[in-house]
Amino acid sequence: MDLARQPLFRMMQDRMGYLTERQKVLAQNIANADTPNYRPSDLKPVNFAEVYRMEQQRVRPAMTQAGHLPPASPQPRFVVDKDRRPFETAPDGNGVVLEDQMLKLAETQGEFGTTSALYRKYLDMMRMAVAVR
């Protein structure tokens, strides 16, 4: 059984990919905390419930023979959003507030931990279901 083809598992993988990309953007903000005129960025939030609903309704092509290539699935694209009006701005024009960035990093880490724990629980549940057979 290929779990990557299951919508719930794919949605959790996409969520972890989003959180990984967000962590990279936030780390870049922290790295540029002393760069003049630097504006912090963040990823636009993705409504994963809506993505899941759309995934359920989408019709996918099926492989009819083993020699056929599998259909390509588009990779999720995450949009980076520049902060146009930062809460605070340093005299050199830098808009990075380290406390805010650290709070966002902690939030991202917590969400990643929650998603990976949920992924692990569903994986254990699938293993139990297969073992019962």
- pLDDT per position in the chain (133 positions), as tens? 677 778 788 888 889 999 999 999 999 999 999 999 999 999 988 887 777 677 667 666 676 777 877 666 655 578 788 876 766 788 888 889 999 999 999 999 999 999 999 999 999 998 898 887 6
Asked if 46 and 78 touch (Cβ cutoff 8 Å), the reply is: yes
pTM of the model: 0.73
If you ran DSSP here, which 8-state letter would residue 130 be given?
H
As a whole number of angstroms, the distance between CA 14 and CA 20 comes to 10
Measure CA 128 to chain center. Answer: 28
CA angle 77, 112, 54 (to 5 degrees): 45
pLDDT 10s digits, 51-85: 767 766 766 667 677 787 766 665 557 878 887 67
Task: Pick the closest to residue 115 from 36, 30, 9 (CA basis).
Answer: 9
In the numeric block, the tokens 């809506």 are attached to 50
Q: Residue 43 belongs to what H/E stretch?
A: strand 41-43
Bridge partners for 43 per DSSP = 80
In the numeric block, the tokens 């599998």 are attached to 70
